[in-house]
Structure 1
Amino acid sequence: MNAPAVIDRQSEGDCAPVIKERGQREVFCGLTGIIWLHRKMQDAFFLVVGSRTCAHLLQSAAGVMIFAEPRFATAIMEERDLAGLADANEELDRIVDQLLARRPEIKSLFLVGSCPSEVIKLDLSKAAQRLGAKHAPHVRVLNYSGSGIETTFTEGEDACLASLVPEMPVLAAGAPANLVVVGSLPDIVEDQFRRLFAEMGIANVASLPERAVADLPGVGPNTCFLLAQPFLNETAHLLEKRGATRIDALFPFGVEGTSNWLHAAARAFAIDSDHVDRVLQPYQDRAHKALAHQRDRLAGKTIFFMPDSQLEIPLARFLANELGMVLTEVGTPYLHRTHLTQELAALPPGVQLSEGQDVDKQLDRVRAIRPDLTVCGLGLANPLEAEGLSTKWAIELVFSPIHGFDQAGDLAELFARPLRRRDVLRV
């Protein structure tokens, strides 16, 4: 029996009390993160220890053609493995040896746990240590869990990056201050941010992850980090344990969020705000012009966010404040209040937030409200479209370049497109 909704009376700022729900969920598993992580980390390989279902999921999500040779694969667990009739560790060692012999360019190998490997209690941490010692120093072997049990799919990236934090070089207390941008970003967006940081006067900037895992940035007491994604809770916690300081800011979506994010970095490095304003002005003007093309279509339209990616609150802030959309409910799988303090304060007064999911109850609220647009997972989109409700796939917002000034117009377009399609198809 599903648990009833719980109303959190400790509301966030001027928002309505938070609805907390626990019940049936509709989300992808954390293995999905491999699709963008393997593109980002160009010297890494992701070996999922899982079932044929895991393999089919990854192939389908990536759209891999038959002749492609991606940097991920699945070590498929058969019935004998699940029944305990085979030595899973011996089989895993054999597969890894074959893989590394065939792909000598691999410098980092991630062993990725799945629901099946966790069910049989296969210790991939010990396997990574064993294989890492065997293949050192040519290959670094790490592990993390991409299991879909009680998680949402973006936590796969969090777990992956968290596994890298202990590998980051130690910077001494006297080392120059450095900035680490945390979160996987498309290369074009990362390059844009680095140019902006350089123009502002911050030269010692690195990313986690870097394009080559072998080039991990150092971390020490003079390290500051900016989260580019709101779902990196464990990664941020481990960086802080290593002495780094998180810079609190809005997330870099739209003009408001990107400006706040960059100004926060400038303050941490004692850079004059007037100088930053002069650097950012032409980028802001260009972004405002791009947003104007979509504002007429989106202003006044109602939107409902189902909990899916953990991007919901920053995106809701962007849509409400910069495009005039009306937020009917903003659901998120987990509400990391520490990382979202400024985002919550920037939401319009009275916004209804929900944390967790009881999908039937949330669908009832969607049907009662009948918003102009519902942001949801793939499994819910088609049924809602059949009922005459326009939808936006939440996962597309994770795959697409949406951070920063130059992507602000593209981000708005992702929300305008379903409404334009509806208008075209309307009889």
Structure 2
Amino acid sequence: MEGIERENGCFHTFCPIASVAWLHRKIKDSFFLIVGTHTCAHFIQTALDVMVYAHSRFGFAVLEESDLVAASPTEELAKVVEDVKAEWQPKVIFLLSTCSCDILKLDLENSSKDLSSRFGFPVVPVHTSGLDRTFTQGEDAVLHALLPFVPREAPKAPKAEVVEEKKRSWFSFGKDEGSKASAPASPQRNLVLVGAVTDSTTQQLQWELKQLGLDKVDVFPSGDIKNMPVINENTVIAPLQPYLSDTLATLRRERGAKVLTTLLPIGPDGTARFLEAICAEFGLDASRVAEREAQTWSGLESQLALLRGKRIMFLGDNLLEIPLARFLAACGAEVVEAGTPYVHAKDLSEEIARLREKAVPVIESPNFAAQVERIDRLRPDLIVAGLGICNPLEAAGYTTAWSIEFTFAQIHGFVNAIDLIKLFIKPLLKRQALLDQGWAEAGWIS
């Protein structure tokens, strides 16, 4: 796509199994069982240590040497599932495969079918190998695996209502009989917000839409696997995250749903365009959106003053880089590079168009060695990067922000705009405080 440069770099990112950190809280009465090696388990214990000790609803089935020669992993997995069922009583277990499963050619698809029939509840296989995905795409894989549980039609009306309608016709004594044919009701269009954001975030967006006249707004995934929203050809899909390409493509192809292509509701500008696009689709008056956007920008003025003119660079980690870069450009910052592991140009066409207007370079799959050279040349005021890269950059004298913070923070909607902008301001204020305390003169920072 025009405006996107592609390099040949590797992903410097967490494994997709890290997505259990937020997914296990979103889908209630579920359990995420990760099938991998001791290395995978060590990663989860290191990255999510607080959640591990909090007795969260995810765990590990660790592959041992004896599993390498087993005809099928089903029996060993059955023992683990039995323990999970006894302790957690889940409605669904997500069986997450890792790159180890891919390399060893473990057949978790058939194992999941056997386990589902054996235990009487769904055991859903999810492909979360780190060989071809970034860590946020683990959410896309889980949502895609949930689609078979999403109904195409709403439950039919109870028979009691039909009987009551017949009673009314019996006692009408033929009045107006035949004067009006009972025309079939036109199918109702429904809006579904897609993305595993927090409940408070979806409630805020639902409130904004209710003020605009849209009372019923569904969310996928819902907290209960038995209560997923209806998605069919009359459904309008509004994505909340930039990394749900597989799920959105399947909803287009298999359900005939319309997927809105607009800005994501990240930042006041993105939220406003997001709401306006929904209003246009449902024929609603969106005049009050501009006022809400102006109020939000006004409330951020003190933070905007610190961002204007700052040179900011994204190295690429969690696939949120493009909407975040668009937000920063709207704030008056100079985004010198928006590196990102992968760009789905169809779903992000509006975001990319905004960056092109601001002449922001978008680099897909950036080469880290080339990025280091560009860092030395561009000298950005702030670099947004993964955890493993930030410390060396700090040692070299650069100010950094952890990209993973944007993954876990609530950054969607008007209300959360203040939290979003503070994630960029915090490292800049920290550096200024160190300079004020004489750290530069002491040679501790450059």
User: Is the structural similarity TM-score above 0.5?
Assistant: yes
Give the direction of change, closer, same or farther, for the CA distance of 1:66–1:263 in structure 2 (3 Å limit). closer
Q: 5+ unaligned residues in a row in structure 1: which ranges?
A: 1-9, 13-17
Larger-gyration structure (1/2):
2
| 8 A Cα contact 2:151 2:231, kept in partner | yes
Q: How does 1:146-157 map to 2 (within 5 A)?
A: 146-157=128-139
183-192 vs 208-217, which deviates more? 208-217
Cross-structure match for 2:219: 207
Q: For residue 325 of structure 2, what is the aligned residue in structure 1?
A: 316
Length-normalised TM-score, structure 2: 0.87
Q: Is the 8 A contact 2:307 2:425 kept in 1?
A: yes
Q: Is the 8 A contact 1:55 1:74 kept in 2?
A: yes
Structural mapping, 1:400-411, within 5 Å: 400-411=409-420
Residue in structure 1 matched with residue 182 of structure 2 by the alignment: none
Q: Is the 1:374–1:392 contact (alpha carbons within 8 Å) kept by the matching residues of 2?
A: yes
Q: 2:170 maps to what in 1? A: none
- 1:380 aligns with 389
Q: What letter is aligned with 1:257?
A: G
Letter in 2 for 1:269: F
Deviation sequence 1:378-407 (CA, Å, 0-9, x none): 010000000010011111101000000001
Specify which of 241, 256, 268 is matched with residue 281 of structure 2.
268
Q: 1:3 — aligned with what?
A: none
After superposition, residues 248-397 of structure 1 pair within 5 angstroms as 248-272=261-285, 276-278=286-288, 280=289, 283-321=292-330, 323-347=331-355, 348-397=357-406
**One-letter code of the match for 2:149?**
E
Equivalent pair of 1:35/1:61 in contact (CA under 8 Å): no
Distance 2:122 2:217 in 1: 24
CA contact (8 A) 2:272 2:290 kept: no
Structure 2 CA distance for partners of 1:126 and 1:336, relative to 1, 3 Å: same
Q: State the percentage of identical aligned residues.
A: 39
Q: What is the rounded CA distance, in whole Å, between the counterparts of 2:187 and 2:43 in structure 1? A: 44
Instruction: Extract unaligned runs of 5+ from structure 2.
Output: 155-184, 439-446
Superposition deviation, residue 296 in structure 1 = 1.0
2:149 is the counterpart of 1:163: no
Change (3 A) 1:420 1:55: same
SS at match of 1:53: helix
Aligned in 2, Cα 1:174/1:238: closer, same or farther, shift over 3 Å? farther
Determine which of 119, 123, 129 is the counterpart of 1:135. Answer: 119
Task: Please name the residue that 2:175 is paired with.
Answer: none
For the 8 Å contact 1:303–1:372, the answer to whether it is kept is yes
Distance in 2 of aligned mates of 1:266 and 1:91: 52
Cα deviation 1:285-322 (Å, max 9, x = unaligned)? 4421332121111100001111111111111111011x
Question: How far is the alpha carbon of 1:214 from its aligned partner?
Answer: 2.3
Q: Give, in whole Å, the separation in 1 of the partners of 2:290 and 2:370.
A: 45
1:360 CA drift (Å): 1.5
What's 2:74 paired with?
A: 89
| Letter matched to residue 128 of structure 1 | S
On the 8 A contact 1:283/1:406 being kept in 2, the answer is: no
Say whether 1:228 aligns with 2:240: yes
Q: Which of the numbers 176, 189, 193 marks the counterpart of 2:201?
A: 189
The aligned residue for residue 424 of structure 2 is 415
User: In structure 2, which of residues 33, 38, 59 is the aligned counterpart of residue 52 of structure 1?
Assistant: 38
Q: Secondary structure at the match of 1:190?
A: helix
1:212-270 CA-to-partner distances (Å, cap 9, x unmatched) read 22211111111110000011000001111211110121011111100110111111111
TM-aligned CA distance change 1:125 to 1:407, over 3 Å:
same
- Report deviation, 1:148: 0.8
Aligned to 1:120: 104
Deviation by residue 1:98-118 (Cα, 9 ceiling, x = unmatched): 2112222x1111000011112
Question: What one-letter code is carried by the residue in structure 2 that aligns with 1:96?
Answer: V
Asked if residue 39 in structure 1 is aligned to residue 25 in structure 2, the reply is: yes
Q: Is the 8 A contact 1:181 1:226 kept in 2?
A: yes
Count of residue correspondences: 404
In 2: Cα distance, 1:63 partner to 1:265 partner: 40
Quick check: 1:290–1:408 contact (8 Å CA) kept in 2?
no
Question: 2: distance between equivalents of 1:65 and 1:179?
Answer: 33
Structure 1 length-normalised TM: 0.91
Tell me if structure 2 keeps the 8 A contact 1:225–1:245.
yes
Distance change in 2, residues 1:185/1:22 (3 Å): same
